[in-house]
Structure 1
Amino acid sequence: MSEAQINATLAARNILTRLHDVMAARTNAQAKLNQVVDIIGDSLNSEVCSIYLLREGVLELFATRGLNQEAVHVTKLALGQGLTGTIAKNVETLNLAEATAHPDFQYRPETGEEKFHSFAGVPIVRMERAVGVLCIQHVEPRRYLEVEIEAMQTVAMVLSELIANAGLVDAQAALDGGAERTHSQREMGFPLVAGLASGKAVFHQPRITIEHVVAEDVEAERQRVYSAFIKMREQIDKMASQAEFGKGGEHDEVLETYKMFAYDEGWSRRINEAIDSGLTAEAAIERVQQRTRMRMRQIDDPLLADRMHDLEDLSNRLLRIVSGQIGTAAQMGLRQDTILIARNLGPAELLEYDRRRLKGVILEEGSLTAHVTIVARAMGIPVMGRMRNILHQVRQDDHLLIDTNENSVLIRPAPQVIEAFEAKFLRSREKQAAYAALRDVEPRTTDGTRIDVLINAGLRDDIAHLAVTGADGVGLFRTEFQFLVSATLPQRERQLRLYRDVLDAAGEKPVVFRTVDIGGDKSLPYLREDGPGEENPAMGWRAVRVALERDGLLKVQARALIEAAAGKTLNVMFPMIAEPWEFDAARQVFDDQLAFLKGRKKLLPDRIRFGAMLEVPALAETLDILGPKIDFLSIGTNDLTQFLLAADRAHPKLAQRYDWISPAILRFIRRVVKAVEPYNIDLTVCGEMGGRQLEALALLAVGIRRLSITPAAVGPIKAMVRSLDLQTATAKMDEMLAYPPANMREVLQDWAIAQGMELG
């Protein structure tokens, strides 16, 4: 430690020792706070020390040393007002050499603070919510040392306990984060997985209240943390050894993506330093965790933010162990229909939950491309994301209604609202029942054209949807799911077992296995490219690019697929092919493994069919080269659309631009249809576009005859197909693409309704 660090640690310990006596004294709360500001001011050599507390929704100056005493209980600031209000609203620290230079600075003349230049403030946090602010000021303009800020943050933790125990006016409501609220309210979010859901609120991480902050015996607290670290690492190592994708159902899996952090010496050192300052084990872990949260709010890099989330998840696990409290809600079991609430989730954490009880998920964060979103979509669980304050708006067991059509979550809905929602839900179920009745009905247009309707899958259990929906097969099996929920690269035996189970479950119906599409936004801790993060991961080091560079990965997968399909037809598709040579190189890996297995007298597939995904627009320019080499081609509309329109599909401001009923998109797909006509190729559209009735109508009208979609969309698409006169629709589409109207979506929809088509 440097001399400054040693002095700051000693100062923090001195403050905690003196505060311990203050908290134990039989004096009122105001007297205690008056003593606290003097103690902090003395220990940090601060000319000003002030405490603001949240009271009746505003921050009130409760105690000060250095400012005018007449301002106490007079100066009040709204959340977000002035430097103090900004700290509380954002739950962030400010460290300013010149306070007046900050854009949020507001001068309050009654305080007499005009002569002070430097300013530092930290939030007083309880249950992740700011219940007050601790500030220091100096006449001399200077930035405070990091160790001084850390000392203030340590003291703020003790203040949170004092405030909670002192019975200050609205401290209880503040620390409960609005838990006393009983009125109904609607919160808006961003739909990540479509659907309706009703259930009782359950927090993924049960809230732990830290009752004791100041340590009686520092060495005893250090030993508690040491023991908790050992137990946590044992748990994670056990998870890693037992994790088996699909064994006993995916809900039994656990994700061990956090191992590198569990053994991170820097993290454990920071916790030990917090204990050195005089905190209990629980308070030290929470102290470091608070700092992590503040750093997360300043991180724009999504990959780095994900890593910070991993560290926070580990902190929660460590805190539960050291406090002797049970783990996540999944480990306690769900007793009723549940809406799960979390800041963020990993895919395997979601799969731990009982699918019969889990009806929906609400995330403070989350994105369309996050791993958990991909898995939740495959599981058919509605997800609302980007609900920033949901953890503080909801109590455990509150009744919640998710309606992704309205982009909303209803909290504690009134009885008449519940009744209306249930009626809407019933209509949705009745519609689904009508669609389910089409299970054994062929999707044939009114003028006799048979359309192939297949499903997308990624989990072993998804194959059951073939029988439920009557789909023609699996047009896309995403093999990367097994990689996303594994702590290490899945071994060949595990992959082989999954692929064999999938083929056996599918029976006579075909399954197209897409080789692993990882990298980019699907980053894996055990497979990462060195160097800075990618600015545009969707167009970066991912999919076949990763597979060809890390050829051992593709070799293992190729051998597993070939062995799993022994005596059957194997359909293999390579993702994100941009140029024909990439297909040739990927196929050569399979040919080499085929020769290897043949030489060892292994039973081989009866036939291997190879295909490519057209997601990169460049591939359309070389279909005359690729066409003779492939058995099938699948158009991946999700990535293709964002590449063609230069519109990030995860960007909320570009949502309106990301429109599949676009002349550019439809003309492009029609051109691909014509380009492959000379070859004996199955052409399929994979992606969300094909699973929406109006978009599917447009696809069929430009020549597509095979759709691979989510299982939930099979019924609606069959219904639409059976109401469609394909020749008439094709003529209408030719007319519209020749002279595109200003709003193609609206015109096509009006035309389809006038034709009496089934559009839900």
Structure 2
Amino acid sequence: MPTPAVSAARTILTRLHDVMASRNHAQAKLNTVVEVIGESLNSEVCSIYLLREGMLELFATRGLAQEAVHVTRMAIGEGLVGTIAQNSEMLNLAEATAHPDFSYRPETGEDKFHSFAGVPIVRRERAVGVLCVQHVDPRRYEEVEIEALQTVAMVLSELIANADLVDEEDVASLSPQLSGPQRLQGLVLVKGLAAGAAVFHQPRITIEHVMAEDRDAELQRVYLAFDKMREQIDRMASQAEFGVGGEHEEVLETYKMFAYDEGWSRRIIEAIDSGLTAEAAIERVQQRTRMRMRQIDDPLLADRMHDLEDLSNRLLRIVSGQMGTAASMGLRGDSILIARNLGPAELLEYDKRRLKGVILEEGSLTAHVVIVARAMGIPVLGRVRSLRGVVREGDQLLLDGDQGNATVRPLPAMVEAFEARFAKTKERQAAYAALRDVEPFTRDGTRIKVMMNAGLRDDMPNLSLTGADGVGLFRTEFQFLVSATLPARERQTRLYRDVLDAAGDKPVVFRTIDIGGDKVLPYLRHNDGEQEENPAMGWRALRVALERDGLLKVQARAMLEAAAGRTLNVMFPMVAEPWEFEAARAVFEGQRQFLKSQKKLLPEAIRYGAMLEVPALAEQLDVLAPHLSFLSIGTNDLTQFLFAADRSNPKLAERYDWLSPAILRFLRRVQQSVAGYDVDVTVCGEMGGRRLEALALLGIGIRRLSITPASVGPVKELVRKVDLADITEAMNRWLSAPPANLREALTGWAHERGIDTD
């Protein structure tokens, strides 16, 4: 039985079919279209605005003053209609005048209408018009009505194109001039430098026919396309080059789950039932997905939606017979891939020898494609807006995945400077690699422990490549983030055992699951389901694990079984008070007793540690320290809590300085407060991986660092140039009487001694 949305769309499309097939001129067709939509939706007003000479012109209306047709015009971004065109997004308002962008046009006679709903008419990914309805009574339009409007907007797009009602030059005028160098800013997803020609992942497929002539034939086409797409995904999953059991395998399994999702395929079939062609049905469902993506605050769910869009694009290319992506056509030289978003399977199709980097309009740190790109060694820049409006196919690009920017059409001097920096980076990497087997002793003979952070099985080869002393922080939550369901205990055990095997005789510190905040799992939510106003300080990390103790019990047993016959180092995140640490340790000890009763082989020893991120814990270290084997200071969260400055807010960047006397005094006090106990103190996070900040940490007594693999070489090289007595004396002096700018003072001190702090 058809759903209400299908029935509403089918009713309108059936009536529009005759309108489209008639010999009437385009204006007459538009006049009839607004009548059909208005009657079908029982709406007193229906209007169509089209882009002409850079303005949105009222082309046809039912309910507004006819004298306003071809007279009322609005700029892109002006009024509700202009806002819809500018953002290419739907509006659905019970009271139009309450919207901040409302603009009253007296010649239309619209003052008596309260409710308003509008959708963009899209052609070649740009809004070329707006279809809207209005009603006297204040009410939001139902979802089925909005879906019907969006379906009709697709039909209007075809009519507009066939009748040449919108000039291509008008559409092109919406884009900025594509000449001269431009700098694009984005979010660093995978670090690294890259240069190459811009290649668009997929040329846009233009849907020429929206309304179906033969429903059964369209269904047959889409059924065959589904079969072919699933065959491709299965083949790619079996041919991935990452070995067996890695996170990439889990990512692709989740991707396959979407490919076989019955709900997705059913929505496409329903769209065909309403009267659309196979191509239009796929596009229609994809538009709905995009609209919902914009409403999702949950980054993990948004990433799942990106996977679904990737599959939609693949299905659309198959059903239309336009199979040519940049991957299938082959890269001709060093290339930077440009895409709105990218699925993991899409990335795997590319020639890794020529693909040098990726720039995405969307993307996030937890996206599946980022995990795959990191393993491939490809830098990725995400959240770069309006890429298609700034970059042309073939434009030269310089991608700086360290600083988070890209330069389009660089001047020769820019290219020369970038190449020099690239060459210098390669030289430095080679010099750091030569330190792999060199132990980091200071000039006065003190051994500093330089460990690395990890979170994936595929990070472990970096342990031998960098010569790190061990893994000071293994983020176990990554396995949970790439999985569609809670990872089974056996799978967790396999991961932890593989990591320990790869580490050999070097220690690995496993941090128990740290989710919440910006790391949300769709299958593990708070009971009340409400959105947290401040998730960074909310239901996350150890708080989640203690409330959902089944989660921690499974993880504890998996770690204990994986570490059988070895030493297990386990750390609890975001401990605020000693009782939380004791409660978490009790869970592990309970599981150890259970395994012992089952005659299972146990770890030789268990070392328990806490991560100091919540400042309150520093006030009770004398209570906690006797029970600790180690204390890891998580500088990222700790600093934002100390300064009350959200580290993800760019407006607060200057307030988030690791070389502030406040944070350095705090860290020195923490170090000194546990000095009388047998507790290893490690600084984990980005702070310890920066050479200048690492220098300051050495000066306040820190002797253990856990940093990114890329930072291990540079920090080892720094350590060998430092005299601890010298830097300790300087730091004590500066923290007793802070200079106006401690960063400048420390930089000058280092340069006087020939220590490079870059």
Same fold (TM over 0.5): yes
Verify the 8 A CA contact 1:635 1:686 in the aligned structure 2: yes
Confirm or deny that 1:628 pairs with 2:626: yes
Give the TM-score, by structure 2 length.
Answer: 0.85
Question: What RMSD, in angstroms, separates the aligned Cα atoms of the two structures?
Answer: 4.2
Confirm or deny that 1:575 pairs with 2:573: yes
Secondary structure of the 1:655 match is helix
Code of the residue aligned with 1:85 in structure 2: it is G
Distance 1:39 1:758, change over 3 A: closer
Deviation for aligned residue 1:350: 6.8
Verify the 8 A CA contact 1:64 1:72 in the aligned structure 2: yes
Partner of 2:458: 461
Partner of 1:39: 33
State how far apart, in whole Å, the 2-side matches of 1:314 and 1:694 are.
Answer: 45
Confirm or deny that 1:390 pairs with 2:373: no
Of 433, 446, 460, the residue aligned with 1:436 is 433
Pairing of 1:414-453 with structure 2 (within 5 A)? 414-453=411-450
Pairing of 1:586-597 with structure 2 (within 5 A)? 586-597=584-595
Distance 1:58 1:402, change over 3 A: farther
Partner of 2:649: 651
Distance 1:8 1:599, change over 3 A: closer
Which has the higher mean CA deviation after the structures are superposed, 510-519 or 543-552?
A: 543-552
Deviation for aligned residue 1:214: 0.4
Pairing of 1:58-457 with structure 2 (within 5 A)? 58-61=55-58, 76-95=73-92, 102-106=99-103, 113=109, 117=113, 120-136=117-133, 140=136, 143=139, 145-146=141-142, 147-167=144-164, 170-171=167-168, 174=171, 181=178, 184-202=181-199, 207-222=204-219, 247=244, 251=248, 254-257=251-254, 271=268, 274-298=271-295, 309=306, 312=309, 315-316=312-313, 319=316, 322-323=319-320, 337-344=334-341, 358-366=355-363, 381-395=378-392, 398-404=395-401, 407-457=404-454
Partner of 2:499: 502
Code of the residue aligned with 2:704 in structure 1: it is R
State how far apart, in whole Å, the 2-side matches of 1:230 and 1:712 are.
Answer: 43
Deviation for aligned residue 1:638: 1.4
Give CA deviations for 1:280-323 in whole Å, capped at 9, x if unaligned.
Answer: 23323322332343344455565665565566456546545655
Partner of 1:562: 560
Code of the residue aligned with 1:444 in structure 2: it is F
Distance 1:493 1:264, change over 3 A: closer
Verify the 8 A CA contact 1:18 1:39 in the aligned structure 2: no
Give CA deviations for 1:335-366 in whole Å, capped at 9, x if unaligned.
Answer: 75443444456789878877665543333344
Distance 1:492 1:92, change over 3 A: closer
Of 711, 714, 726, the residue aligned with 1:713 is 711
Deviation for aligned residue 1:598: 4.2
Deviation for aligned residue 1:703: 0.8
Verify the 8 A CA contact 2:5 2:147 in the aligned structure 1: no
State how far apart, in whole Å, the 2-side matches of 1:686 and 1:330 are.
Answer: 39
Partner of 2:722: 724
Secondary structure of the 2:739 match is coil
Verify the 8 A CA contact 1:451 1:705 in the aligned structure 2: yes
Confirm or deny that 1:538 pairs with 2:536: yes
Which has the higher mean CA deviation after the structures are superposed, 316-325 or 731-740?
A: 316-325
Give CA deviations for 1:125-159 in whole Å, capped at 9, x if unaligned.
Answer: 13442122234567x56557435444332221012
Confirm or deny that 1:486 pairs with 2:480: no
State how far apart, in whole Å, the 1-side matches of 2:607 and 2:704 are.
Answer: 17
Give CA deviations for 1:149-183 in whole Å, capped at 9, x if unaligned.
Answer: 44332221012223334455643884899699566
Which has the higher mean CA deviation after the structures are superposed, 413-422 or 726-735?
A: 413-422
Q: Percent identity?
A: 72
Give CA deviations for 1:214-272 in whole Å, capped at 9, x if unaligned.
Answer: 01133544565577678878999999999999627655553455799788887666555
Deviation for aligned residue 1:670: 0.8
Secondary structure of the 2:654 match is coil
State how far apart, in whole Å, the 2-side matches of 1:228 and 1:703 are.
Answer: 63
Verify the 8 A CA contact 2:485 2:523 in the aligned structure 1: yes
State how far apart, in whole Å, the 2-side matches of 1:504 and 1:516 are.
Answer: 21
Of 674, 684, 687, the residue aligned with 2:685 is 687
State how far apart, in whole Å, the 2-side matches of 1:546 and 1:375 are.
Answer: 28
Secondary structure of the 1:493 match is helix
Verify the 8 A CA contact 1:692 1:717 in the aligned structure 2: yes
Give CA deviations for 1:435-461 in whole Å, capped at 9, x if unaligned.
Answer: 333323332222332211111112223
State how far apart, in whole Å, the 2-side matches of 1:354 and 1:307 are.
Answer: 25
Which has the higher mean CA deviation after the structures are superposed, 183-192 or 298-307?
A: 298-307
Verify the 8 A CA contact 1:239 1:254 in the aligned structure 2: no
Partner of 1:759: 757
State how far apart, in whole Å, the 1-side matches of 2:333 and 2:667 are.
Answer: 46
State how far apart, in whole Å, the 1-side matches of 2:715 and 2:591 are.
Answer: 39
Give CA deviations for 1:512-549 in whole Å, capped at 9, x if unaligned.
Answer: 22233234432223333332233333333333333334
Distance 1:158 1:550, change over 3 A: same
Code of the residue aligned with 1:40 in structure 2: it is V
Code of the residue aligned with 1:17 in structure 2: it is H
Deviation for aligned residue 1:674: 0.9
Partner of 1:702: 700
Deviation for aligned residue 1:692: 0.5
State how far apart, in whole Å, the 1-side matches of 2:440 and 2:689 are.
Answer: 14
Partner of 1:13: 13
How many residues are aligned here?
A: 752
Verify the 8 A CA contact 1:124 1:133 in the aligned structure 2: yes
Partner of 1:733: 731
Gap runs ≥5 in structure 2: none
Which has the higher mean CA deviation after the structures are superposed, 412-421 or 471-480?
A: 412-421
Distance 1:611 1:357, change over 3 A: farther
Deviation for aligned residue 1:44: 1.9
Secondary structure of the 2:131 match is strand
Give the TM-score, by structure 1 length.
Answer: 0.85
Which has the higher mean CA deviation after the structures are superposed, 413-422 or 625-634?
A: 413-422
Give CA deviations for 1:534-566 in whole Å, capped at 9, x if unaligned.
Answer: 333333333333333444433443333333334
Deviation for aligned residue 1:708: 0.8
State how far apart, in whole Å, the 1-side matches of 2:3 and 2:336 are.
Answer: 51
Deviation for aligned residue 1:95: 4.6
Secondary structure of the 1:656 match is helix
Verify the 8 A CA contact 2:192 2:401 in the aligned structure 1: yes
